[in-house]
Amino acid sequence: MSSGRTIYPKPVLSVFLEPRSVIITSGDLYTSHLHGIDEVTHDVFLGDGRLLCPTGDEVVLSNWRTVRTQNMADVLRYGGTLPRETRLSLTCRDVEKVATPMNGHLPIR
C-alpha cells in the first residue's frame, strides 16, 4: 500500500521561457509541486496564451503577455507551433549530511 499523494497531471502553473532566460523555484513551489520540462520537439499554442500539453490538456501560460521576442509573442497570441531548442536544467540542493574525506581520500565503493 502506497502512502504517496495522487499526481494530477494538469499543471497548476506554466510559464514561457525565452532564450537565455532563467527561472528559480524555491520554498513550497519547489518542495510541494512537481516541476519539470516535457520532452517534446515543439510546443503547440492555441492562441491567447494557451498551451496544448502532451496530455491533451490546455493550460494558460502565466506570463504570455510579457514575452518580448515578437515572433514568439505572435505565436502565443494567435496560435501556432514553436520548435524546442537546447535547454539546460541545473538543480542545487541544500544537503545537510555530506561525505567527509578519510585521510584526505573519499572511500572507494
- Asked if residue 34 is part of any domain, the answer here is yes
Selection from 10-14, 17-21, 35-39 with the highest mean pLDDT: 17-21
- Asked if residue 76 is part of any domain, the answer here is yes
Q: What is the pLDDT of residues 41-93, one digit of tens each?
A: 999 999 999 999 988 989 999 999 999 999 999 999 999 999 998 888 787 77
Number of domains in the chain: 1
pTM for the complete prediction?
0.73
Q: At CA 31, angle to CA 87 and CA 1, rounded to 5?
A: 110
Q: Which residue range is the domain that position 43 belongs to?
A: 27-83
- Asked if residue 16 is part of any domain, the answer here is no
